[in-house]
Amino acid sequence: MAIEIDLTTLRKPDWLRVRLPSGDNYERVKAEVRGLKLHTVCQEAACPNLAECWGVGTATIMILGDVCTRGCRFCNVKTGTQHGTVDWLEPVRVAQAVQELGWRYLVLTAVDRDDLTDGGALIFANTVREIHGRVPDARVEILSGDFAGDLRALDIVMDAEPDVFAHNLETVRRLTPIVRDRRAGYDQTLRVLEHAKRRAPQRFTKTSIMLGLGERDDEVERAMEDARSIGVDIFTMGQYLRPTKKHLPVTTYLTPQRFAELGALARSKGFHQVVSSPLSRSSYHAEQAFPKSS
């Protein structure tokens, strides 16, 4: 079931309303992150699951700055260029945060860095190695861009042995040219995910799509099948929320029941893990892909 909404009001259904994070643990983590000059997607994107994730020792750190070389029409990250600037000490600070805050599952993501010859692959790899060196029992998930399709750059990342490699389809094939930057193709995303799985078949690969952008049910199912056919292990679905009036409008708010139905459909395709709810984001419940005893 989908609910048509009045695009002039953008009023959210009750199930999308959450309380702002607060409390001593939240303030402690926020202060630590600020002190180490790190960016968290949890804060930058005002993620509704921030308090829950931080509470179970999970976070998403955005490395390589906060200016993206691409301009996807759903994303509120600044677009521009950093002219090849790289903070080579950032991996050390990220690992320090993981150690001091007791994080046991960290998602590393980044803006697209088409201004770098390797797309930022080496920084990703260095950060994974620093974390594993300081906190051997911490798991690290990479949520990366496509490295402009350069599979050699992807190999640099996979050689660092992240526990999960994620790269998002974001939407269905038909809507990709509308939703994503022209340099981010649907098939290119599938090639990146397929190569990551072939490079390290023992490790999980993961992708995510947003719903509420005008996709049809059959297109959503096809995206599931496309992902599963190349060995993707984890599939996530969440409600698209418009950051500002300059971004693509929401066409529908899907009900929690509809997300549950789509989640059941995805599980029938054979994924290791499926996360599907209005507030789900790429890294939501990421740690649950692994048994608690592992």
Asked if 162 contacts 129 with a C-beta cutoff of 8 angstroms, the reply is no
Would you kindly state where each structural domain of the chain is located, as residue ranges? 2-285
Q: Is the pLDDT of residue 51 over 80?
A: no
Residue 201 burial (CB count, 10 A): 9
82 residue type, one letter: Q
Tokens of 127: 């950060």
Do 104 and 58 touch, CB atoms closer than 8 A?
Answer: yes
The answer on pLDDT for 293 being more than 80 is no
pLDDT in the model for residue 15: 83
Short-list 64, 235, 72, 57, CA closest to 140: 57
Q: What is the mean pLDDT of residues 188-205?
A: 97
Kindly report the CA angle at 66 between 63 and 122, in degrees rounded to 5? 30
Cα(107)–Cα(40) distance, integer angstroms: 10
Q: Which pTM value belongs to this model?
A: 0.88
Q: What Cα–Cα distance (Å) separates residue 128 from each residue in 37, 41, 56, 143, 158?
A: 18, 17, 20, 12, 10
CATH number 3.20.20.70 is the correct assignment for the domain at 2-285: yes
Mean local confidence (pLDDT), 49-53: 57
Say whether pLDDT at 224 is over 90: yes
Of residues 214 and 36, the one with the higher pLDDT is 214
Distance CA 37, CA 49 (A): 22
pLDDT of residue 71: 95
* Mean pLDDT, the chain, whole residue set: 87
Q: What is the H or E stretch that residue 99 is in? A: helix 90-101
CA-based nearest residue to 4, from 278, 252, 255: 252
Burial (Cβ within 10 Å: 0-12, 13-18, ≥19) of residue 255: middle
**What pLDDT digit, counting tens, does each position of 52-98 carry?**
555 555 678 899 998 999 999 999 888 999 999 999 999 999 999 99
Residue 186 confidence class, pLDDT cut points 50, 70, 90:
very high
Res 2: pLDDT: 45
Mapped onto helix, strand or coil, the DSSP state of residue 284 is coil
Instruction: Give the model confidence (pLDDT) of 254-291 as tens digits.
Output: 999 999 999 999 999 999 999 999 988 776 555 666 66
Nearest Cα to 131, choosing from 30, 59, 201, 196? 59
Burial 52-63 (b: 16+ CB within 10 A, else e): ebbeeebbbbbb
The predicted pLDDT at position 266 comes to 98
**Among candidate residues 200, 120, 110, the one with its CA nearest the CA of residue 159:** 200
Residue 205 pLDDT exceeds 80: yes
